[in-house]
A and B are shown apart, each in its own frame.
Chain A
Amino acid sequence: MFPRRGGSGSQGSDRFEYLQALVTEFQDTDSQEAKEQVLANLANFSYNPANYEHLRRLQVPDLFLDMLTEDQENLVEYGMGGLCNLCLDKVNKAYILQNRGVELVTGCLSSPREETVLSAITALMYLVTPAARSQITAPPVVECMVRFSLSENKRLSNLAEVFLQDYCSPEQLERARSLQEHSALGIPLPRD
């Protein structure tokens, strides 16, 4: 699934150097295209837990968080995908939560891109800890999930359903549904 460099023996250091080269190119390049490609590479590398140590050393989680406020939709999508891929790890999770992660990810729920929104929902679920739960299941987020759960888009409605069923209390649900009824019409859903 990912490009593999070097032999299987000394892979650790090879992989680190390769990731380092990617990060360096991302920072140095002026080409928007190259930036997107490299970011997508890094996001895909974030899928494999074996890379987490390297990615942390290179401050890639930070890089992804920075991308969430970019104007370029591609950068947001890839950055969000990367975060979704690495946020389950305890160390990464703690780091993201400390650095306004929930706020930034919640912002992505209103993205027009399907993949960005899906990654954001999954990331929010994966970021839930006893401490962060209240922030993640804040009323506006739950409302948003209720809307998503009614979507025609099966992927979106499934994820929203899981979010509502598994991470929200019945009271929260009740409240969000009642709010839904007399407001919240016309808030745009993500386009495909």
Chain B
Amino acid sequence: MAASSWKTLEVRKHHEQKDVCFTRAKYREGRRPKAVRVYTINLESRYLLIQGVPAVGVMTELVQLFAIYGAVEEYRVLDDYPAEQFTEVYLIKFQKLQSARIAKRKLDERSFFGGLLHVCYAPEFETVQDTREKLQDRRKFIARTTNRDKNLDRTEQKHEEPDTSKEVVNNLQLETSEIETSNVSEDWNTCTYYGYPMLPPPPQEDLQRFTSVSGNNYLEPTVHDPLFKDFTTTSTGHAANTGKHGVTEWSPPSDIRKYHGPKEVSFTKSNTSVARFIPRTTHLQDRKRRKEQVAVDSLIGIDKNDAEIFVGPKLPEEPKVDMGDDSLNVSADLIRNRLIKVSCAFVLLKTFLLLSSFYLLY
């Protein structure tokens, strides 16, 4: 009987891809475009017909792909089944109907070695016994679920399981991407902090209170206490933890993220009194603009003083050296300006380090 069941190789109506229905009312539109079709237990089967498999000898890969969704009992290529040029048609028999269901849902219209798979149920390959078991399984399932009327919701959830798992994955991805961004922004912050002339907040009474409150809420006190030390500890802890992305319950990043907010707030808050908080990009643009301006100015010959760039005490004016040639003078000016700027930045960095050590002591 089994042998004869493998012989039916006509294209059946339920093998054809029905035209997708585009006239559904908005509220009835599903997530994926679908044709109008009613699924009953008769249409479902442990046998799946896979059309559109490129004829490049990928049977093993195909079976491996389908085996992800459950144990495959039998498979074979259907040589006599009418197929498009350069494609093959396969028949896969799963051990369980549920596996076939999921495999069909996941793999239909999926691209595979350059071809687009069309997966459909193939109940005409069933034996009488297969059909009988299928009907009985459905009977048992209904009896089981409807006898426990109270637990209806649970069965519902069981039905939805594949999707919720997808959502979990999505959440996880979301979380990791958030972690990544938070990581970046943290680097950014410290970078801004050390690389640019922005003065650290002086120890203030209310700031201290503020951070300690946030520390109690979000981080262990040991990590938190000295503000600058905890930058490094959090970021190293972070780096160490990034290996654990797959774990669902991963608390450190959320702590850091939460902690991130107050930290920024405390910065802006303190900086208003000392120095303006300027995003790094603005800074870079500003610097570039000024540099260009200086170059242009010196090219035109306007010898503007560079006072606006420099903060802090000026070095005694060096006597101007005339190179005897205009273009040489311009080049010399540029080099000189650059040197002054670098040394100035160095001075500022020193001031900053001094102040920060002062803060640490405090």
Where the two chains meet, the residues of A that have a C-beta atom closer than 8 Å to any C-beta of B are 1, 3-4, 8, 11-12, 18, 21-22, 25, 33-34, 36-38, 40-41, 43-44, 47-50, 52-53, 77-78, 81-82, 84-85, 88-91, 114-115, 118-119, 122, 125-126, 153-155, 158-159, 161-162, 165-166, 192
Contacts and interface: CB of A to CB of B under 8 A. Distances in A.
Most buried by B among A22, A49, A119, A162: A49
B38 A89 contact: no
15 contacts: A1-B39, A21-B27, A25-B25, A33-B23, A37-B24, A40-B38, A43-B38, A50-B155, A88-B139, A88-B142, A88-B143, A122-B135, A126-B135, A153-B124, A161-B128
Nearest to A51: B156
A118 B42 contact: yes
B40 A47 contact: yes
Q: A interface, by DSSP: helix, strand, loop or mixed?
A: helix
Contacts of B191: none
Contact of B38 (A82, A155, A192): A82
B99 to A, nearest CB: 14
Interface string B307-332: 00000000000000000000000000
Contacts of A78: 38
Contacts of A77: 38
A159 B14 CA distance: 17
Most buried by B among A11, A34, A114, A154: A154
Contact of A88 (B24, B42, B138, B157): B138
Interface in B121-165: 123-128, 130-132, 135, 138-139, 141-143, 145-146, 149, 152-153, 155-157, 159-160, 163-164
A155 B42 CA distance: 8
A48 B159 contact: yes
B8 interface: yes
Interface stretch (B28-36, B87-95, B232-240, B286-294): B28-36
Q: Which 6 A-B pairs have the closest CB atoms?
A: A81-B38, A50-B156, A88-B142, A154-B124, A158-B131, A43-B38
